[in-house]
Amino acid sequence: MKRMLSGIKPTGQLHLGNYIGALRHFVESQNEYEMFAFIANLHCITVPQNPQELQKNLKDCVALYLACGLDPNKATIFLQTDVKEHAQLGFIMCCHTYMGELNRMTQFKDKQAKGEKNLSGGLYTYPALMAADILLYSPDYVPVGEDQKQHVELTRDVAERMNNRYGQLFTVPEPLVAKVGARIMSLSDPTKKMSKSDETNKGCIYLLDDFKVARKKVMSAVTDSLGKVHYDPENQPGISNLMQILSSLSNERSFEDIEKEFKGKGYGDFKKAVADAVCAKLEEIQTRYNEIINSNLIETTLANGAKKASMIAAEKLNKVQKAIGMEIL
């Protein structure tokens, strides 16, 4: 069985972009692949965090993984810091990643370009840690949203570099980016990615949003004055984004089909259909979340996940350290 791995960093509450771009693919993949899904809590602290909020977000993230349909009997679900090998291989990867490569990574570059002050060293080097997160488990595929593709490509480059230098250590993974929904945009500014760090809160639908709030966000989504439901991301970014959301939440319904249904109808009717689909999905997820959040399923899932992940990770780290010459005995 081929192996797949992916993670999410809950720097805030998970949102519809995380669900459409990542989580739903984890769920679809768990029957076909040996799936590893982790919660990237080391990555969270690359930016300042409020400890109480971080703890809540981490617990919610596990509950949402399960509520969205990840099955702990099929997928290995674990917290990154429960497997100490991530940090250790992370440093080794950092020593094999060039400054020039890290300088090209867009997340750090974007924050620097925005003039954000006191950016941490961890934010700069986290792509090397991400390479370790992936390579520890030898996955064949890494499903990601468009924004993370660059990091999987760096992982491939460093893996190949180390394989050439020390012999075959790592499986070189392929990024899997979905055709639809790999970059869900903000509802209030469709030129920007829907993001947890949305300052206004209006453009981002959180998976735990109240239905009325979510509906209002969709109904007030920025569109255009062209008045036709047509897929054209360049000239109609708002409408195209809503079409991607509707398609992703309705079994990959085709854009032609959506265009046909809303031909001659106003944007109000179209937005209502998107809001209905979003609220139906939120209801499904939240019903399950409410059953899980205070049960012991979170604890048992993480304990079992850490046990399985640790065994695989320890073996890989040992092999790498030996190959590099770091072990004495």
Write the DSSP assignment of 60-82 as a string of letters: HHHHHHHHTT--TTTSEEEEGGG
Nearest to 165 by CA among 99, 90, 96, 88: 96
**Quick one: which of 117, 67, 118, 128 has its CA closest to 95?**
128
Alpha helices (H) in 74-191, listed in sequence order: 85-94, 99-103, 106-113, 121-135, 149-166
145 annotated binding-site participant:
yes
x/- track of binding to ligand AQP for residues 81-120 (CB under 6 A): ----------------------------------------
Catalytically active residues are 111, 193, 196
- For the chain, give the number of residues: 329
Q: Is 190 annotated as a binding residue?
A: no
Residue 65: partners with Cβ closer than 8 Å, 6 or more residues away = 23, 26, 37, 39, 77
Count of residues that bind ligand AQP according to CB under 6 A: 20
Q: Is 11 annotated as a binding residue?
A: yes
Q: Pattern of binders to ligand AQP over 5-34, x per CB under 6 A?
A: ---xx-x-----xx-xxx------------
Do the strands 141-143 and 34-39 form a parallel or antiparallel pair, or are they unpaired? Answer: unpaired
Residue nearest to ligand AQP (CB): 21
User: What whole-number distance in Å separates Cα of residue 176 and Cα of residue 254?
Assistant: 20
Site string for ligand AQP, 196-235 (x = CB under 6 A): xx--------------------------------------
CB of 301: closest distance to ligand AQP in angstroms? 19
Helices (H) and strands (E) in the chain, counts: 14, 5
**Choice between 132 and 144, CB closer to ligand AQP:** 144
Beta bridge partners of 206: 15
Pick between residue 205 and residue 317 the one whose CB is nearest to ligand AQP.
205
Residues between 136 and 165 with contacts to ligand AQP, criterion CB under 6 A: 144-145, 147-148
CB–CB of 150/118 below 8 Å?
no
- For the bound state, the minimum distance from the C-beta of residue 19 to ligand AQP, rounded and expressed in Å, comes to 8
Judge whether 321 and 85 are in contact, CB under 8 Å: no
Question: Which residues, 259 to 318, sit near ligand AQP by CB under 6 A?
Answer: none
| Phi, psi dihedrals of residue 114, rounded to the nearest 5° | -75, -5
Measured from the CB atom, is 180 or 314 closer to ligand AQP?
Answer: 180
Residue 209 annotated as lining a ligand binding site: no
State in angstroms the smallest separation of the CB of 20 from ligand AQP: 6
Q: Does 42 bind ligand AQP (CB under 6 A)?
A: no
Q: Choose, by CB under 6 A, the member of 184, 207, 274, 302 that binds ligand AQP.
A: 184
CA–CA distance, 46 with 276 (Å, rounded to integer): 36
- Known binding residues for L-tryptophan: 133
- Known binding residues: 9-11, 17-18, 133, 145-147, 184, 193-197
Residues that bind ligand AQP (CB under 6 A): 8-9, 11, 17-18, 20-22, 144-145, 147-148, 182-184, 193-197
